């Protein structure tokens, strides 16, 4: 993979971790290697299914402190069953976040989505129970 990134001067690598349908996830060592090979290449990790993984998978969000080129995507669509209201967020280095903020629409989340997301956060203990039942 590193050869392809170098050869094509990649600016973005995107990975679903854990992915659907296998549940395979990148290891911390693999993420370190991806982020280290080119600081000008954004490494995007989609963690949409992380709550459903049976493997000992943990979020990569803490690695953002070490890598300014890492961005983690999360969504309420899967574990909170909010696919219809389209609520998600990213976590990244502040400089990378500025780029995203400049690109987003000014009112990109509805009032209904906001209320639904806040309710999910407030009742996370119940969602954790539901996730366990689904798994």
Contacts of 66 (CB under 8 A, 6+ apart): 35
* Structural domains counted in the chain: 1
Contacts of 90 (CB under 8 A, 6+ apart): 71, 72, 73, 74, 97, 100
d(CA 83, CA 5): 33
Domain CATH code at residue 126: 3.40.640.10
Q: In this predicted structure, what is the pLDDT of residue 65? A: 93
d(CA 83, CA 32): 31
Task: Residue 91: give the domain boundaries.
Answer: 2-134
Which pTM value belongs to this model? 0.85
Q: In this structure, what DSSP letter does residue 45 have? A: E
Structure tokens at 17: 């971790």
| Phi, psi (rounded to 5 degrees) for 28 | -60, -40
- pLDDT tens for the chain, 135 residues long, are 667 777 778 899 999 999 888 888 898 899 999 999 888 899 999 998 888 887 666 789 999 999 999 999 998 888 888 888 888 889 999 999 999 888 888 878 889 999 999 999 999 888 888 888 887
d(CA 9, CA 11): 6
């Amino acid at each position: 993979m590193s050869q392809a990134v170098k050869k094509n001067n990649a600016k973005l690598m995107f990975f679903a971790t854990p992915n659907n349908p296998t549940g395979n996830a990148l290891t911390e060592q693999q993420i370190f290697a991806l982020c280290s090979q080119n600081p000008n290449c954004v490494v995007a990790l989609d963690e949409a299914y992380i709550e459903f993984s049976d493997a000992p998978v943990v979020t990569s969000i803490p690695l953002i402190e070490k890598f300014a080129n890492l961005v983690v995507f999360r969504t309420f669509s899967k574990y909170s069953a909010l696919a219809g209201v389209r609520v998600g967020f990213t976590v990244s280095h502040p400089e990378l976040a500025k780029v995203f903020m400049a690109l987003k629409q000014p009112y990109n989340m509805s009032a209904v989505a906001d209320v639904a997301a806040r309710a999910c956060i407030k009742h996370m203990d119940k969602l954790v129970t539901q996730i366990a039942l689904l798994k």
